[in-house]
Structure 1
Amino acid sequence: MRFLHPDGSTVHLGYCSNVHQAEDLDGVIAQLADHAEPVRERLGTGRLGIGLWLARGVVGELVDDAGALGRLRSELRARGLETVTLNAFPYAGFHREVVKKDVYLPDWADEARLEYTLDCARVLAALLPDDVRQGSVSTLPLAWRTPWPRDRAEEARRALDRLTTGLAALESRTGRRIRVGFEPEPGCVVETTTQAVRELGGLDPDRLGVCLDACHLAVQFEDPAAALHRLAEAGLPVVKLQASCAVEAARPADPDARAALHRLAEPRFLHQTRTTADGDVLGVDDLPDALGGGLPDAGGPWRVHFHAPLHTRPEPPLRTTSAQLDQVLAGLLGGPSADCAHIEVETYTWSVLPEPPADLPGGIAAELAWARDRLTGLGLKEDPS
């Protein structure tokens, strides 16, 4: 979906296809028919944005085979879908039985990460709608925090220089500008916007910036207004917003809350958990660690990196951080200018909910309708063209 901001610019809203299990081109195309097109029909819109996640093997095929790339582009058009952003955080195997920390591999000290990201940029430049000149690719925030010795940090910095050069050459060749956003995430080298400024400051803002995930921001107990101000002051653009909510237990010692949290402690994804004590943020790397005594439960609330559907509440007495997402949306789009043009609803956890939905397209459509209402409430107008 497209929206017109009061400043006259276009804001794109879509959902991320990493919720679907597909790691070959046939599977990606099947998910467009089985899920994305039904989502568009449920919303009653003639055009739906989809932020594609394309595993390494698919990206390689699309780069090497113009026919395969043309096939994907044709399928998107035929189903009323458009792609202005790719999620290049997971490299492959995102729906294995156990993913956990493997999602951070390869990291930015590994040549494979640079090659994959540049290939994603090449594919996106070819998939952009004819009237769109700028796309975005999101990626991991350099690496998981350990081990991260100086030599690997320096290698990653050199890779970012090469990334900038490659993106500039792509724009020169295609006329399409693709920007890459590094996504701060709990437990990584870049967890917070403060760390983003420290680690990513001084990069070319025309090519590189931040992918701001509202769930991650909330888990780290960052104030949205302060975080956005910090990035703006440092000249780090928000090239993409992932509209997402964390799960919060206001009273983690409550037996009902703990029982509900136990039902979220599933084995596939990493669910970093944070709390506050005396003004400090305390954390563990996974929800089972918190439930096993790794976090105090007599102080502040717990926030869990579990992307909860935007439009519903989790099992009581748990709640979501939708209020923080509202603040992020208002900070980026509620002012006189649009400070982000790409919004991607990223709830990849539907399949690991305690009660997975029988109607996944209906759930995704409801999330997008929730986001649409927030945008129109900020004064944006849906573009029916």
Structure 2
Amino acid sequence: MQTGYGHLTYCSNIHPGLSWEHHFNELRTNVPLVRQAVAGNAPMALGLRCSNEASLVLTEELDVFRQWLRENHLYVISINGFPYADFHQEVVKDRVHRPDWTTAERLDYTKRLCNILARLLPDGMEEGGVSTPPLSYRHWWGSSLPDTADQATRNLLKMIGFLIDLRRETGKLVHIDIEPEPDGILDNGGDFFEWYSQKLLPMGVRYLQEERGFSADEAREAIYAHLRLCYDVCHFAVSYEDPATVFAHLAASGIRVGRIQVSSALRVDLGEKREEKLNTLRAFLEPIYLHQVVARTQSGELVRYPDLDLALAADSADHAEWRVHFHVPLFMDAYGLLRSTRPDINQVLELHQANPVTNCLEIETYTWGVLPRELQMPIADSIIREMKWVKQQLEKN
């Protein structure tokens, strides 16, 4: 849906479906209902999620999918290329990073998604993005992590070369949107900005000069155009990153934002009713997804835990606050004694309204099926409430 501040959409990773047949059936069942409720007869954008398996089939069935999009007043502006395999029916945890950017499998999958997106972008829309993991999962690598980051960066530079050719072929600028996430090699915004300036740009300029004969300025512009930040508000909030500081760094660095993922994390103030709050938090323990925790101590130090069960086992009286990577509904700010990081969403949207940084606002609450039972409701109703809430925030100013 077009707003005054970009296209508002939601990511279809909310819907299950490893195969294209299964996922397309979920889209046919739910997306027209959402569009009618939030956009009326106007067109609505869709953020597509497409597994590796599904992408192989969709490549052959693009005409059928395009026809369905036209008939239902829908258009695709973005693809979520983070999860490679199943994202709902089995344990995901750290497997969501596999295969990572050190592998040919991740490179080939992402190329296929970019080809699909270039051919799905509607006439008159010249760019769109494919989101992707933050290089790899840092806990796999130990002392070899720097070498791993180098190998991942080399594959991303091959990806940029592919996207340069794709733009010449199709006229569409498709960009890769890297999504920092707790315990990724690019764990947070600080990691991302350091990697981009200290590793990606120097390696990328040399690569494009040697492989393409680009000047240094041409190489930098190609990198800025084709590799961008996926600003997942939940992830940045879990790391206690100030949105105004992030926006200022973006403006100063020249790095672009491919999309803002509008998402909210759990926030627990441990100053009062500590045991009651921790007991309430135990209802969010579930076996499918990683729920990284970043604790802020009384002195302001940040202590990181790879998953919620580990944080609960290591609870310390010195912890003043927890932020938990559990995507919770946007339209709620409290869950009993627990709160959310929704104020970060409000701040990010206000900053974006004052100085727009992307044309894509994508809602990404994918945890409906694993929320405590009292928070669950029919999926289409949940998506509609989220879309309407974000639209209301954008219309306030």
TM-score normalised to the size of structure 2?
A: 0.89
What SS does structure 2 have at the residue aligned with 1:205?
helix
1:353 pairs with one of 346, 371, 383: 371
Equivalent position of 2:330 in the other structure: 310
Moved more, 128-137 or 169-178: 128-137
RCO higher in structure (CA 8 A, sep ≥6):
1
In 2, the alpha carbon distance for the partners of 1:136 and 1:235 equals 18
Contact 2:181 2:235 in 1 (8 A): yes
Equivalent position of 2:361 in the other structure: 343
- Alignment map for 1:160-199 (pairs within 5 Å): 160-199=156-195
1:257 is the counterpart of 2:277: yes
In 2, the alpha carbon distance for the partners of 1:297 and 1:241 equals 35
How far residue 4 of structure 1 moved from its aligned partner, in angstroms, is 2.6
Stretches of structure 1 lacking an aligned partner (at least 5 in a row): 6-10, 379-385
In 1, the alpha carbon distance for the partners of 2:102 and 2:330 equals 34
How far residue 80 of structure 1 moved from its aligned partner, in angstroms, is 2.0
Stretches of structure 2 lacking an aligned partner (at least 5 in a row): 205-222
Contact 1:107 1:142 in 2 (8 A): yes
Contact 1:182 1:209 in 2 (8 A): yes
2:96 pairs with one of 103, 126, 131: 103
Contact 1:193 1:230 in 2 (8 A): no
Contact 1:276 1:299 in 2 (8 A): yes
Counterpart amino acid of 2:127?
Answer: Q
Equivalent position of 1:381 in the other structure: none
Contact 1:86 1:137 in 2 (8 A): yes
Moved more, 213-222 or 352-361: 352-361
1:287 pairs with one of 304, 308, 320: 308
Counterpart amino acid of 2:257?
Answer: V
2:287 pairs with one of 238, 249, 267: 267
Equivalent position of 1:3 in the other structure: 3
Runs of 4+ in 1 over 6 A off after TM superposition: none
How far residue 154 of structure 1 moved from its aligned partner, in angstroms, is 2.1
- 1:44–1:237 CA distance, 2 compared to 1 (3 A): closer
Contact 1:194 1:230 in 2 (8 A): no
Contact 2:247 2:351 in 1 (8 A): yes
- Alignment map for 1:1-385 (pairs within 5 Å): 1-5=1-5, 11-45=6-40, 46-63=42-59, 65=60, 68-148=61-141, 149=144, 150-201=146-197, 202=201, 204-251=223-270, 254-277=274-297, 278-293=299-314, 295-335=315-355, 338-355=356-373, 357-378=376-397
Contact 1:29 1:75 in 2 (8 A): no
Contact 2:10 2:363 in 1 (8 A): yes
What SS does structure 1 have at the residue aligned with 2:286?
coil
What SS does structure 1 have at the residue aligned with 2:377?
coil
Instruction: Show CA shifts across 1:179-210 (max 9, x none).
Output: 11100100111111111011122261110011
In 2, the alpha carbon distance for the partners of 1:242 and 1:297 equals 33
Counterpart amino acid of 2:379?
Answer: L
In 2, the alpha carbon distance for the partners of 1:373 and 1:194 equals 31
In 2, the alpha carbon distance for the partners of 1:301 and 1:152 equals 33
How far residue 314 of structure 1 moved from its aligned partner, in angstroms, is 4.4
How far residue 231 of structure 1 moved from its aligned partner, in angstroms, is 2.8
Instruction: Show CA shifts across 1:261-303 (max 9, x none).
Output: 100011110000111122221110101111112x424432111
Counterpart amino acid of 2:70?
Answer: R
Equivalent residues, number: 367
Instruction: Show CA shifts across 1:329-373 (max 9, x none).
Output: 1222223xx211111000000000111533211110110111111
Contact 1:51 1:87 in 2 (8 A): yes
Between structures 1 and 2, the one with greater helix share: 2
Over the residues paired in the alignment, what is the CA RMSD in angstroms? 1.5
Contact 1:306 1:349 in 2 (8 A): yes
Aligned-residue sequence identity (percent) comes to 33
Counterpart amino acid of 1:330?
Answer: E
In 2, the alpha carbon distance for the partners of 1:153 and 1:358 equals 41
Counterpart amino acid of 1:308?
Answer: V
In 2, the alpha carbon distance for the partners of 1:258 and 1:297 equals 12
Instruction: Show CA shifts across 1:217-241 (max 9, x none).
Output: 0000011111221233222211111
Contact 1:54 1:87 in 2 (8 A): yes
In 1, the alpha carbon distance for the partners of 2:151 and 2:328 equals 35
In 2, the alpha carbon distance for the partners of 1:341 and 1:19 equals 21
Counterpart amino acid of 2:168?
Answer: S
In 2, the alpha carbon distance for the partners of 1:155 and 1:314 equals 42
Contact 1:32 1:79 in 2 (8 A): no
In 2, the alpha carbon distance for the partners of 1:350 and 1:91 equals 20
- 1:339–1:358 CA distance, 2 compared to 1 (3 A): closer
Instruction: Show CA shifts across 1:91-138 (max 9, x none).
Output: 011113311000011111111111111111100011111221111111
Contact 2:261 2:363 in 1 (8 A): yes
How far residue 21 of structure 1 moved from its aligned partner, in angstroms, is 0.7
Counterpart amino acid of 2:107?
Answer: L
TM-score normalised to the size of structure 1?
A: 0.92
